[in-house]
Amino acid sequence: MSSQIGKRISVTIFGESHGPAIGMVMDNPPAGLKIDNDYILTQNARRAPGNDPTATPRKEADLPEFLSGIKNGVTTGAPITAIIRNTNTKSVDYDALMRNPRPSHSDYAAYVHYNGHNDISGGGHFSGRLTAPIVTAGSILRLYLKEKDIEIGGHILKIGNAEDMRFDPVNISDDKLIFLSKSNFALLNPDVESEMRAEVEAARMDNDSIGGIVEIAVTGLPAGLGGPMFDGVENIISKAVFGIPAVKGIEFGAGFEFATMRGSKANDQMYYDGGQVLCSSNNCGGITGGITNSMPIVFRVALKPTPSISKPQSTVDLKSGTTTELTIHGRHDPCIVPRALPAIEAVTAIAIANLLSEVAD
Amino acid sequence: MSSQIGKRISVTIFGESHGPAIGMVMDNPPAGLKIDNDYILTQNARRAPGNDPTATPRKEADLPEFLSGIKNGVTTGAPITAIIRNTNTKSVDYDALMRNPRPSHSDYAAYVHYNGHNDISGGGHFSGRLTAPIVTAGSILRLYLKEKDIEIGGHILKIGNAEDMRFDPVNISDDKLIFLSKSNFALLNPDVESEMRAEVEAARMDNDSIGGIVEIAVTGLPAGLGGPMFDGVENIISKAVFGIPAVKGIEFGAGFEFATMRGSKANDQMYYDGGQVLCSSNNCGGITGGITNSMPIVFRVALKPTPSISKPQSTVDLKSGTTTELTIHGRHDPCIVPRALPAIEAVTAIAIANLLSEVAD
Amino acid sequence: MSSQIGKRISVTIFGESHGPAIGMVMDNPPAGLKIDNDYILTQNARRAPGNDPTATPRKEADLPEFLSGIKNGVTTGAPITAIIRNTNTKSVDYDALMRNPRPSHSDYAAYVHYNGHNDISGGGHFSGRLTAPIVTAGSILRLYLKEKDIEIGGHILKIGNAEDMRFDPVNISDDKLIFLSKSNFALLNPDVESEMRAEVEAARMDNDSIGGIVEIAVTGLPAGLGGPMFDGVENIISKAVFGIPAVKGIEFGAGFEFATMRGSKANDQMYYDGGQVLCSSNNCGGITGGITNSMPIVFRVALKPTPSISKPQSTVDLKSGTTTELTIHGRHDPCIVPRALPAIEAVTAIAIANLLSEVAD
Amino acid sequence: MSSQIGKRISVTIFGESHGPAIGMVMDNPPAGLKIDNDYILTQNARRAPGNDPTATPRKEADLPEFLSGIKNGVTTGAPITAIIRNTNTKSVDYDALMRNPRPSHSDYAAYVHYNGHNDISGGGHFSGRLTAPIVTAGSILRLYLKEKDIEIGGHILKIGNAEDMRFDPVNISDDKLIFLSKSNFALLNPDVESEMRAEVEAARMDNDSIGGIVEIAVTGLPAGLGGPMFDGVENIISKAVFGIPAVKGIEFGAGFEFATMRGSKANDQMYYDGGQVLCSSNNCGGITGGITNSMPIVFRVALKPTPSISKPQSTVDLKSGTTTELTIHGRHDPCIVPRALPAIEAVTAIAIANLLSEVAD
């Protein structure tokens, strides 16, 4: 199913960018969970546009309205529904949009998939705006994971040529992840912020955009979570993360660097520390055989530059069947990376919460 | 479910390395498909050990026996079952294996996941040997995809510092993929073979192992396949590919290189060619918005070096609760990359066959 | 997942009787379907209270508001969301309800299942009111099925001792099903209406309630739909139908009467009629081996009397741990059968629409 | 998926009656479960033909061979595979079978579903013989449930006009269910056995067959199991039970008798007994709101007479497109009811084991 994720705790995302509303339904949520609205708002604010110079100045309130599953601030166990009304839904030249798909956008692929019936205004169901309900769903499950002392956090690792330091994968504190989870421009080394912002600003000045990489960590997971082959931790997390627009790659632990590594260097040597099994390195990113191994989960996600740029581009005219030139107007994010980070953390929370429930028997 | 993949055509992999047999069951297979045994054997031979100097000399026949779903060489539509008897199942010192997990192996994680009940001999259910039934299942579905003119093929892109050329993502011929699919050491540029083999041989001489990267392409797919968010092409392929042991990363199209790319360079410009919509570049790897866009699918997969090396390593003694030293004996692949390639092609076929059936209505 | 049904077209029902709203999300709906609001309203009116003397006089508008998936009256293919605001949500003595579960209600079972966190006001998520979004979802898919000349219809077969005639299972016209689908008290033989209403009225006069049986038929289905064993037509329809409150039994074709039948009488003799394979009887209810066989699908569903009655009953006091007496106040349906019928037709439509999409390849 | 059941513990049934073998794969089985082979053989013997006069004299060994998931008699947690070789696979006049489908058999429906590619010999994948691996899978999970003091048992309630007494639904002992689970002709009142056998013998003498009803009970279940709407206990059990050939109806508790019952009689009055919540009646069959309520689960299943009878019947000739007469030769069960009982108990065990694992978090 296209807009749904999770076997045990199932989240369905709905809505179109310029339709009446967007939202999410979470089936089979944990019962008795206390909802911290401030936390949910903080996470939504991190992904909302206009809160950071790197983002488009469009303002979004994005305060979700809960329609079900919560009573007196506590989850009832019945499906939780949250919606956000769309205010910025001015009518657009629908025909023009449909006949001239934007390069590297979902426009043409969606046109074929839906036989031309998809709502393309503002990107429709494919709009980055749909990450708002994803963040809402993820925030609820992050509160659930926090009760089990599981923390998820991440930072911007790279934008253009500006690069942050990496997590020390054997030494990641909950406090650090909690700290990062509050930032609109999360970094391990604050000194690279100006350089990164310069990359974004330079792209903006050129009516262009720029891509990047984020790094995510999960702490507090018990060993033994996941399983072999097709429902392992990497399978479930990667399936979830590719649900965020612009994601084009994911690597766990040493990832692509394994290509040039010898086993003797790559293998994470094991030792006992106060009765606990640990590793002196964490090249496996906390996962061996698809199962958590007591080390923190660490992975990196590649994001492509937003395809909406103001430069003239070549596209097709689906009506006349000819090649033509397209110039996209309007205000767009020159860099989606900072806003994508909380959404990637959110789907990671959905994946982990489902993996946890599989621990049964 | 752990060892199962596919919603519409569901494949379940079973067996342990030193148990009676390994195999697969494919529920809901296409009916009326002609089974080409030579093709299936060729694919199994590609992943079998001993057929290439890079692999362990252990010999495996790996001729699957079909128990159901095929009559007179044609699929009946009922579940297809194929098994391979394990011959190399000499008893081993089980206790010793259980108490001293091998670093970066599934041993410790599986021990916790299964509360110490897992069969660890030869890697048990986590053994690379389990890729044999995966290749068998994938081969059947590749025959199904060939009927629809869909081809899947790949090559070794990198081993250590030896690197092959990449696919030209806008110009991949079926013949090239068919050619690669017959090779035990698939390369685009045969000149790098000696260099790659040298990397493997050097690792072997050092009682060590080495990792690598493979690159996969899929041609002949109609545009419009897949969907938004969580059941898109990238989600489904990545979930499948991480089912192959040693896989630690995946990137589609330009992947991690998007981080330093501007939108103006990254965007795939569109044009009409004889009534068909094409792109002049293929940085998106044939997928936009989680949906195929008429260009070939291209992705790369990172493989870690096999953790089984003969060098002394640090591990834990789960019985005494102390840190100890471990030396692994026996013959092991110094490089799993060539043998992993057909398995990755196989799960890609399973993923694509399922995506195809979702095209309904 | 609890409140979700359908693999290909997935419907999730949300909301609590006295919460802000109830509704449904349909993931993966058919794209390009024209929405007939009058039809949807007609079906919702059939299940709404107050429209028939057998029902409680409570008035419900039940006009669903569509939040997504529909543009200019046509489905876009993105998830469809419809909500109905709850107006009748006056606060109730929550504690009293929680400590004294109503006999044969979900109260006690839900209390245990949700660890006492469930919203019990008005039945919460278990309220019959939740059939409103089910009918909305089903109505949309019935419009989809109508495009394929598939009709679903049903009638009240029995209330107390008043009994309607049965469908002639070999001769069911689309027109008859369409006619029944418009009635608030659907019967094949209108003469039994007064007798049935008398049964209901008698129960009401006694502060009591009464059960019944409905009979459903589906015409226009192609042969070959469904499959063996666990995803056959009977499996999928029964799983869906038991989702409607008060349903306690289902039988296809001759059903429980098969117990006393000989094979020679039970077997549906086959013949050719103008190139079409038909049967001279339809004891199998249109399904053999879990697969449609070209005859209409016919099944009957047993409904228990609504447990909400004004008579004093014995229950437990969960707070004090003692047995006590309970008297339920307020206005309740003396007979749920007429209102349950459109809901059962609706889930049948969801089941059939999913079975249809499995026909792929 | 057609021949697969279970979300958490997934069982896939494979094989054709005259193919090389039949069997099952259980993915995600409980780890550390001790396998009692005698118990598994006892259950297989109950469903095997030839062990009772009511059954066909065909002999089947039906000793399953375990290929994976069991080491030293204990489950490892990896998928469990069991196969049974087919010995009785003499070649048959395939064409004749294909062109003349047997009335009320799956033959014609399967022919259409599989586009004429299905293996029809001996019923192929639709043969009652496929209940052997179902019983094997169910027996393993019954051993798992026994560890949790959950017992499943049943008896023949009706064959023709011969009828056994019903369970007293408020008073069902584990010992009684264990006793019934060992019988090849399970009855509560042994006095009706001769009468039932007379019904079967009379049908056999007439070259005919006869249907029946079985009644199943489950004890030891905790309250709170299951959920609202579509994954409740009734949904899951009914979906599983309709997977057994010949099943055409199911009712829980009072079932179809609710139609004539008043709420005041139907409602199960609640009381405290030594700190435990119980009901003085059990018309709901242990399930309210789709959730277990601390009372035993009780349901009845209707079975149609086996359609294989020696009397001449009318059928179609798919080759010539004409109506023709068919006479089925060979030995067939005049009554499938006694052999279907253990298979229905088996799928009930699969359903309950999956419901149990959903209790997580």
Give the model's pLDDT for residue A208: 96
Among the partner-chain residues A28, A228, A361, the one whose CB lies closest to the CB of D357 is A361
- Chains in contact with B, where contact means 3 or more Cβ–Cβ distances below 8 Å, are A, C, D
For C301, the enclosing helix (H) or strand (E) is strand C297-303
Which range is least confidently modeled, A162-166, B234-238, C306-310? C306-310
Among the partner-chain residues B78, B356, B361, the one whose CB lies closest to the CB of C361 is B356
- What is the C-alpha to C-alpha distance for residues C119 and C129, in angstroms, rounded to an integer? 14
Give the model's pLDDT for residue D361: 32
Average pLDDT over residues D70-79: 96
pLDDT means over runs of 10, chain A (361 residues): 86 95 96 96 89 62 86 96 85 76 95 94 92 97 98 98 98 97 96 97 96 98 95 97 97 98 98 95 98 98 95 94 90 91 98 78 32
pLDDT confidence band for D158 (50 / 70 / 90): very high
Q: Which residue has the higher pLDDT, A84 or C90?
A: A84
- Chains in contact with C, where contact means 3 or more Cβ–Cβ distances below 8 Å, are A, B, D
Q: Write out pLDDT tens, residues D325-350.
A: 999 887 778 999 999 999 999 999 99
Q: Write out pLDDT tens, residues B299-322.
A: 999 999 999 999 999 999 999 999
- What is the C-alpha to C-alpha distance for residues B315 and B313, in angstroms, rounded to an integer? 6
Among the partner-chain residues D235, D292, D313, the one whose CB lies closest to the CB of C243 is D235
- Mutation site, C106, C208, C230, interface D, largest D CB count within 10 A: C230
With a cut of 70, say whether residue B246 has pLDDT above it. Answer: yes
Average pLDDT over residues B128-147: 97
Q: Are D104 and C288 in contact (CB < 8 Å)?
A: yes
Give the model's pLDDT for residue B359: 41
**Cα→Cα distances A264→A267, B55, B310, Å:** 6, 18, 9
Nearest CA in chain D to B10: D1
pLDDT confidence band for D89 (50 / 70 / 90): low
Residues with Cβ within 8 Å of residue D155, at least 6 apart in sequence: D164, D167, D180, D186, D187, D188, D214, D215, D341
Among 3.10.180.10, 3.90.1150.10, 3.60.150.10, 2.120.10.30, name the CATH number for the domain at B4-360: 3.60.150.10
The predicted model scores a pTM of: 0.96
Residues in chain A with CB shorter than 8 Å from the CB of C35 are none
Residue entry with tokens 């530059």: A305
Among the partner-chain residues A227, A228, A361, the one whose CB lies closest to the CB of D30 is A361
- Round the average pLDDT of chain D to a whole number and report it: 93
Indicate the Cα dihedral angle C150, D243, B68, D326, nearest 10°: -70
Q: Are C236 and D239 in contact (CB < 8 Å)?
A: yes
Alpha-carbon distance C91 to nearest alpha carbon in chain D (angstroms): 23
| Residue A85 exposed, middle or buried by CB count within 10 Å (0-12, 13-18, 19+) | middle
Average pLDDT over residues B184-203: 97
Q: Are C224 and D113 in contact (CB < 8 Å)?
A: yes
Alpha-carbon distance D242 to nearest alpha carbon in chain B (angstroms): 18
- Round the average pLDDT of chain C to a whole number and report it: 93
Give the model's pLDDT for residue C359: 40
pLDDT confidence band for D53 (50 / 70 / 90): low
Average pLDDT over residues C59-66: 73
Q: What are the residue boundaries of the structural domains of chain D, listed by start?
A: 4-360
Q: Are B1 and A126 in contact (CB < 8 Å)?
A: no
Among the partner-chain residues D235, D266, D291, the one whose CB lies closest to the CB of C113 is D291
- Chains in contact with A, where contact means 3 or more Cβ–Cβ distances below 8 Å, are B, C, D
Which residues of B touch chain C, with CB atoms under 8 Å apart?
7-8, 28, 30, 78, 227-228, 356-361
Q: Are C66 and A8 in contact (CB < 8 Å)?
A: no
Instruction: Assess contact for A231 and A185: CB atoms under 8 A.
Output: no
Nearest CA in chain A to B302: A256
- What is the C-alpha to C-alpha distance for residues A277 and A35, in angstroms, rounded to an integer? 35
With a cut of 70, say whether residue C100 has pLDDT above it. Answer: yes
With a cut of 50, say whether residue D192 has pLDDT above it. Answer: yes
Give the model's pLDDT for residue A346: 98
Among the partner-chain residues B30, B78, B228, the one whose CB lies closest to the CB of C361 is B30
Of the candidates B46, C65, D177, C241, the one whose C-alpha atom is nearest the C-alpha of residue A20 is C65
Q: Are B14 and D76 in contact (CB < 8 Å)?
A: no
Among the partner-chain residues D78, D227, D359, the one whose CB lies closest to the CB of A360 is D359
Helix, strand, or coil (residue C179): helix
Q: Are A115 and C31 in contact (CB < 8 Å)?
A: yes
- Mutation site, C71, C130, C350, interface A, largest A CB count within 10 A: C71
Among the partner-chain residues B101, B223, B248, the one whose CB lies closest to the CB of A270 is B101
Average pLDDT over residues B55-68: 72
Give the model's pLDDT for residue C276: 94
Give the model's pLDDT for residue C93: 67
Among the partner-chain residues C226, C266, C303, the one whose CB lies closest to the CB of D104 is C266
Q: Which residue has the higher pLDDT, D208 or D358?
A: D208
Give the model's pLDDT for residue B63: 74
Give the model's pLDDT for residue A361: 32
- What is the C-alpha to C-alpha distance for residues C5 and D231, in angstroms, rounded to an integer? 8
Residues in chain A with CB shorter than 8 Å from the CB of D78 are 228
Residues in chain B with CB shorter than 8 Å from the CB of D124 are 76, 78
Q: Which residue has the higher pLDDT, C333 or D95?
A: C333
Q: Are D267 and C104 in contact (CB < 8 Å)?
A: yes
Q: Are B20 and D115 in contact (CB < 8 Å)?
A: no
Q: Give me the percent of chain C exceeding a pLDDT of 70.
A: 94
Straight-line distance from the first to the last Cα atom of chain B, in angstroms, rounded to the nearest whole number: 27
Residues in chain D with CB shorter than 8 Å from the CB of B19 are 67-69, 71
Q: Are A13 and C65 in contact (CB < 8 Å)?
A: no
For D158, the enclosing helix (H) or strand (E) is strand D151-159
Give the model's pLDDT for residue D61: 55
Average pLDDT over residues B98-110: 94
Residues in chain C with CB shorter than 8 Å from the CB of B28 are 227
Q: Write out pLDDT tens, residues D203-218.
A: 999 999 999 999 999 9
DSSP A240-264: HHTTSTTEEEEEETTGGGGGG-BHH
Of the candidates C161, D319, A286, A312, the one whose C-alpha atom is nearest the C-alpha of residue B263 is A312
Residues with Cβ within 8 Å of residue A5, at least 6 apart in sequence: A11, A239, A240, A243, A347, A350, A351, B229, B230
Residues in chain A with CB shorter than 8 Å from the CB of C22 are 68
Q: Which of C252-287 are b and which e, b meaning 16 or more Cβ less than 10 Å from the residue's Cβ?
A: bbbbbbbbbbbbbebbbbbebeeeebbbebbbbbbb
Give the model's pLDDT for residue D2: 82
Of the candidates A154, A103, A131, the one whose C-alpha atom is nearest the C-alpha of residue A47 is A131
Residues in chain D with CB shorter than 8 Å from the CB of C318 are 277
With a cut of 70, say whether residue D286 has pLDDT above it. Answer: yes
Give the model's pLDDT for residue D329: 81
Q: Are D31 and B114 in contact (CB < 8 Å)?
A: yes
Give the model's pLDDT for residue D328: 86
CA B225 from chain center: how many Å?
Answer: 22
Q: Write out pLDDT tens, residues A22-56.
A: 999 999 999 999 999 999 999 999 998 877 767 66
